[in-house]
């Protein structure tokens, strides 16, 4: 009988679970503004930056699966397939695209830590843009099927443009926090 090697170590599974919980907790934190926003993307950025693309992606998938089965992990303490299939569910599912881009970028060999940092940040930016694109197309499809046609510009105006400045701030903070945590974890 041959032994099979686990795909994840116990440590990795614990960290994946902890980051899924962090994403849930950050999705519940709503910052009031002209357009209220959560810290959900901050936690996704942290999961990817701290755990790497593969484990970060699995933390995102665990988070989405928890919400899909009805656990209220999404913003506003919501959960269930109705949220994922609703007009803004595409943005949540888009986090998997963001994670996939980050994971793919990790596979690119680089010559220095500075180049790695630039590549990682670029992957987060590109992944976020693709998440926005997927989420917006999803929003337009679901919204249009329930309420009639909507212009793409209106969807972007409602669902993307107000969030860009906040997501840039969250990305920068997540990279700083992750770099600091990694520095102290390696001591």
pLDDT digit string, tens, across residues 51-79: 999 999 999 999 999 999 999 999 999 99
Burial 108-140 (b: 16+ CB within 10 A, else e): eeeeeeeeeeeebbebbebbbbebbebbbebbb
Confidence at residue 99, expressed as pLDDT on a 0 to 100 scale = 98
- Whether the Cβ atoms of residue 92 and residue 67 lie closer than 8 Å to each other: yes
Confidence at residue 185, expressed as pLDDT on a 0 to 100 scale = 84
Mean pLDDT of the chain: 94
Confidence at residue 175, expressed as pLDDT on a 0 to 100 scale = 97
Percent of the chain beyond pLDDT 70? 96
Confidence at residue 18, expressed as pLDDT on a 0 to 100 scale = 98
Q: Which bin fits 117, alpha (ψ -120 to 50), beta or left (φ > 0)?
A: alpha
Q: How far apart are CA 133 and CA 128, in angstroms?
A: 9
pLDDT-wise least confident of 17-21, 27-31, 106-110, 183-187 = 183-187
Confidence at residue 66, expressed as pLDDT on a 0 to 100 scale = 98
Q: Residues for the chain: how many in total?
A: 187
Instruction: Provide DSSP, 3-36.
Output: PPPPSS-HHHHHHHHHHHHHHHHHHH-EE-SSS-
The dihedral built from the CA positions of residue 101, 104, 110 and 116, taken in this order, carries a sign that is positive
- Whether the Cβ atoms of residue 43 and residue 23 lie closer than 8 Å to each other: yes
Give me the domains of the chain, ranges plus CATH numbers. 10-180 (1.10.1760.20)
Confidence at residue 121, expressed as pLDDT on a 0 to 100 scale = 98
pLDDT tens column, 75-101 = 999 999 999 999 999 999 999 999 999
User: Model's pTM, two decimal places?
Assistant: 0.94
Q: Angle CA(87)–CA(93)–CA(97) in degrees, nearest 5?
A: 135
User: Measuring CA to CA, how many Å separate 74 from each of 51, 81, 121, 144, 180?
Assistant: 21, 11, 25, 23, 27
Confidence at residue 36, expressed as pLDDT on a 0 to 100 scale = 75
Q: How far apart are CA 106 and CA 8, in angstroms?
A: 18
For residue 131, give both structure tokens: 């998440």
Predicted confidence band of residue 152 (pLDDT cuts 50, 70, 90): very high
């Amino acid at each position: 009988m041959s032994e099979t090697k686990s795909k994840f170590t116990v440590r990795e599974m614990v960290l994946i679970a902890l980051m899924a919980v962090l994403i849930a907790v950050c999705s519940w934190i709503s910052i009031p503004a002209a357009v209220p926003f959560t810290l959900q993307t901050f936690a996704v950025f942290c999961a990817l930056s701290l755990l790497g693309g593969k484990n970060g992606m699995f933390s995102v998938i665990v988070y989405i699966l928890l919400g899909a089965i009805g656990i209220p992990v999404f913003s506003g303490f919501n959960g269930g397939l109705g949220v994922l299939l609703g007009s803004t569910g595409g943005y949540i599912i888009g986090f998997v695209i963001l994670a996939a881009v980050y994971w793919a970028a990790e596979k690119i060999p680089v010559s220095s830590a500075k180049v790695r940092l630039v590549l990682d940040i670029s992957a987060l930016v590109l992944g976020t843009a693709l998440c926005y694109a997927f989420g917006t197309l999803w929003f337009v499809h679901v919204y249009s099927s329930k309420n009639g046609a909507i212009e793409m510009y209106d969807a972007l105006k409602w669902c993307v443009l107000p969030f860009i400045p906040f997501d840039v701030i969250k990305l920068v903070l997540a990279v700083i926090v992750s770099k600091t945590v990694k520095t102290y974890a390696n001591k």
